[in-house]
Amino acid sequence: MHKQPLLILFVCFVLGIFFQDYLFLSDCTIYILLTGGFLSLFITVVKSFYFYKFRPVLFGFLAFVIGVFIHSLHSQKPELPLLKGKETITFKITKKLNSNDKNRRYEIDAWKDKAYFKSVLSFPKTEKELNYLHYYKGEVYVNQIEKPYSDFQFDYGKYLSRKGIYFQSYLPNSLQFAKREDLVFSEKVKQRRLETLAKIDHTNLQKRTREFAKGIILADRTEMDQETVRDFRDSGMMHILAISGTHMAIIFGVILLILNFVFPPKYRRYKIVLALLLIWSFAVFIDFGNSVVRSCIMISAYYTFILLQRKTDLLHSMALAGFIILFLNSNQLFEVGFQLSFAAVFGIYWFNQPILKYLPQPKNKFQNFMVNVLSISLSAQLGTIPLVIYYFHQYSAVSILANLVIIPFAEIVIVFSLLIVILISLNLNFSWLNVLYDELISFTLKVIHFFADADSFMQKMIPLTLLEVLLLYLLFYFLRFAIKKITIKNVAKVTYFVLIFVSLRFMLNYRAEKLDEVLVHQFFKEKIISVKEGSAVHFYCGENSNQEKIQQYIIGPYLTSRRTKNFTLTAIPKNISNIEIRGKQYEFNRK
């Protein structure tokens, strides 16, 4: 507690949030715990040796209870209106979401008569884009989001409920609108961002270049083609496409570099404050994306230590940023991006220095930069591998090499992209610069596609339970000591946890193989039937079914949850309406 008090208190705070999320204590119980927590705080100030010994425990308990209380405030379910089927609603957009092949999607604030609710709205791409300048009114098909029918499916309803959204809507076409007179500052900024995105769309840049620029600088991937997204995902380079700590650190560094030319060295503190204000202004402009806010808070916390002339500490900065984010919205803890960003920072802290010992000693600044890129990439990868596999059930070993090649190049790409977006927003168009930027991005996308195409390095449908994740992090905890100093004791500890992990996987695989079951899966208006016998699974679907989508949304998740890759898919002809399995008739729904 003496070395990292803020981090330990943050861990207790996080445990309190998890505790409340899974048990959901009553208000009365929470207030009793809160009273006990503050009583423990009073006890800590009593100058008694007996109580002083328990001071760290009492502080930890208080942080835990505050975590429970804060999450209880942020997880209150609002009173929902009764909506089902076709309803006439009035709404305004609050956020633009990723589009699909047919529809654009938005988060909206909506009203039915005087009843207020939030919803995800789908709107045809053939219609004009919605904006923040208008209220809209129309007849929509609205329904409350249902829970998934099985445990292996992603709980989209729960994901949206953490944002206060419990409905999804579809607006076919007819729409009335009226100009808004009550735009607040944040909505004016969001509208300005939409206008900048529209300006980029009207440039002579190639389509993929335009989408890349919008994604890497303005955090808008809503219209990006799936092939590009897949390339970034399969190469392990999604953190380059999404605005993350790397982007904000580079942008902050560029701002400081420019300010160093403008102001003399004696104004160092003012330059840091101004640079922090500018990156926060940038965060406001790109709609306060979660990863951007996390990065800005971490950078601000780190440089606050410098301004106060205190020793900088990465874990202190991380814990302080975590406290601020979760106090504002404790549901952020359950965002994959939140967990991955903090896991990456901790991985860098835990592994970077031990790994550097085994790398060649650099002889110049360039070699030093490359060595640090390699060590930081490896450290971040180790910190995030368990979570990446747990959430996405895939991992590519080529991502380490891809990061080593792309990250040094990424600084040029990010700075150039920022320059292009600024020029476009100011209505300044330089054709030769656009051509140069097109070539740079085309080359970047080709390199990333090359790494994504290395199928032999990609492992998909990797099953991993939460218990296995915890074991892996325990293993990585002791791995640091083995890397720092190879001794029999340190290696034995790592070996011990490796054996426990392997034994657990063997047990879970054996248990899954012994499970025989027949399930009926609902996929829109269709039924898909699965028959599991040992390690083999047989799927049955209609002959006109979209087998690619079925494999993506039904077969893949099911096989992963049942820890097997052995399956067959049989298309049932139209003239057969049902099939018999193990003496029971199963009916197919036809479109």
Residue 108 has a pLDDT of: 94
Alpha helices in 430-542 (DSSP H): 431-452, 466-484, 488-513
Residue 48 has a pLDDT of: 54
Whether 124 shows a pLDDT value over 60: the answer reads yes
Q: What percent of the chain has pLDDT over 70?
A: 95
Query: Residue 171 to residues 106, 140, 175, 525: CA-CA distances in angstroms?
Result: 11, 5, 8, 20
Q: Which helix (H) or strand (E) holds 105?
A: strand 103-112
Cα 251–Cα 426–Cα 247 angle in degrees, nearest 5: 15
Nearest residue to 446 (alpha-carbon basis) of 406, 490, 408: 406
Backbone φ, ψ for residue 10 (5° rounding)? -65, -40
Other CB atoms within 10 Å distance of the CB of residue 471: 20
DSSP, res 573: P
DSSP, res 535: T
Split at pLDDT 50, 70, 90, the class of 119 is: very high
Whether 34 shows a pLDDT value over 60: the answer reads yes
Cα 166–Cα 171–Cα 173 angle in degrees, nearest 5: 170
Whether 333 shows a pLDDT value over 60: the answer reads yes
Instruction: Identify which of 297-301, 360-364, 452-456, 501-505 has the greatest average pLDDT.
Output: 501-505
Average pLDDT, the chain: 85
Distance CA 124, CA 128 (A): 9
105 pairs with which residues across the strands?
97, 122
Decide: 517 and 533 in contact? Cβ < 8 Å: no
Mean of pLDDT values over 199-218: 88
Distance CA 525, CA 533 (A): 26
Residue 455 has a pLDDT of: 62
Decide: 136 and 175 in contact? Cβ < 8 Å: yes
Mean of pLDDT values over 134-147: 89
Distance CA 164, CA 108 (A): 11
Cα 35 vs. chain centroid, distance in angstroms?
35
Q: How many helices (H) and strands (E) does the chain have?
A: 21, 14
Digit-coded pLDDT (tens) for 518-560: 888 888 778 888 999 988 999 988 888 888 888 888 899 999 9
Whether 173 shows a pLDDT value over 90: the answer reads no
Whether 47 shows a pLDDT value over 60: the answer reads no
Distance CA 415, CA 425 (A): 15
Helix, strand, coil abundance in the chain, percent, nearest 5: 60, 15, 25
Amino acid at 347: G
3-state secondary structure 140-197: EEEEECCCCCCCCCCCHHHHHHCCCCCEEEECCCCCEEEECCCCCHHHHHHHHHHHHH
Residue 99 has a pLDDT of: 82
Least confident of 44-58, 369-383, 414-428: 44-58
Residue 1 has a pLDDT of: 46
Least confident of 14-18, 139-143, 202-206, 300-304: 300-304
Cβ neighbours of residue 7 closer than 8 Å, sequence gap 6 or more = 315, 316, 318, 319
The predicted model scores a pTM of: 0.86
Decide: 204 and 431 in contact? Cβ < 8 Å: yes
Decide: 346 and 318 in contact? Cβ < 8 Å: yes
Mean of pLDDT values over 469-487: 92
DSSP, res 551: I
Cβ neighbours of residue 157 closer than 8 Å, sequence gap 6 or more = 145, 146, 147, 148, 166
Distance CA 550, CA 480 (A): 42
Whether 114 shows a pLDDT value over 50: the answer reads yes
Digit-coded pLDDT (tens) for 182-208: 888 888 888 888 889 889 988 889 999
Query: Residue 226 to residues 104, 234, 238, 370: CA-CA distances in angstroms?
Result: 15, 12, 13, 31
Distance CA 433, CA 431 (A): 5
Distance CA 132, CA 243 (A): 23
Split at pLDDT 50, 70, 90, the class of 3 is: low
Distance CA 433, CA 270 (A): 33
Split at pLDDT 50, 70, 90, the class of 316 is: confident
User: What does the block give as tokens for 171?
Assistant: 């607006």
Backbone φ, ψ for residue 589 (5° rounding)? -90, 130
568 pairs with which residues across the strands?
538
DSSP, res 130: P
